[in-house]
Structure 1
Amino acid sequence: MGMSVIISAAAAEDAEQILKLQYLGYQGEAELYGDWTLDPLTQSLESLRAELAEQQFLVARLGDEVVGTVRGRIGADGVARIGRLVVHPRMQRHGLGGRLLEALERRLAEDGRPLTAFRLFTGHRSLGNLRLYARQGYRQTAVEQISGRLTLVHLEKPAAAPLAATA
């Protein structure tokens, strides 16, 4: 009998598994760009724990194992900034990244604070990421040259308007 992947809020005790997954998940990005100093590869456990306290984190679990994660928060400008969507390599191409992204968007929209848009970014060579974000309704808003090897593609999608209450 197979297990289902469950998406839920991350807990403080998930920090170590999230950090390990992040490190594993960003190996391909580091190779793609020839840069092993990417922030997700050099982040400390203490720094990740601090982010857990400041942002909304979701994890995807297969049994006790964290196999996916994403984080985000709504800024004072009403824009939700989403980051570090990571899915374990063996779990990729099964829709889990899209499920995590949708779950985080829903969670942020239900936060109660004004929300106008969702923003994220990825590297220009990360074609799988760009395809996923396009399928999820994100559109390119800017391109930022970081180095000779890396250009960031910034993407955004409007937050859904709240449903009007019916009388």
Structure 2
Amino acid sequence: MRNRPIPGSSGRVRPLSLLGDPVLHAPCEPVTDFGPELHGLVEDLFATMYAARGVGLAANQVGVGLRVFVYDCPDDEDVRHVGHLVNPRLVAADGVEVRGPEGCLSLPGLEAGTSRYDRAVVEGTTVAGEPVSVTGTGFFARCLQHETDHLDGVVYADRLSGWRHRKLRRAVARSRWS
């Protein structure tokens, strides 16, 4: 077994885009260049995600409008899933719809009950352009749906309505970062 470097160990921590930044609400462009810059972006995404203590991070959350995200997220059985997806697309979200607490590194310190399916399948490629399909259940399915949403210009706050939406808007207004 060969030793693989820890994801993000050669990356740099980038500043996070916060709610209100237009890059978070614009659909991301597909990746067409699978060169060293893409490898560097993935490393930076891992480094930034770990520094912020997150479980997933999309490229537009660091101001880059490309369809890339990384994750280091457990499922409901505490199985750890670590990886990245380039040009991902959600091909299935099914099973039971569960409302659970959801947070986001672009809305630091806040969370709201958000409905997501408990199974998700995302297809895309690796940084080398190799096809990959990732299936998640439970909390990991929530993560996959959340990060794919980011790349489509959607933050979880956009999925809220009624009193949950109003409560989150008030919390955002009171936050130190808004």
| Greater relative contact order, per chain length (Cα 8 Å cut-off, separation 6+) | 2
Superposition TM-score, scaled by structure 1 size = 0.28
Q: Structure 2 length as normaliser, TM-score?
A: 0.27
Between Structure 1 and Structure 2, which shows a larger proportion of helix residues?
1
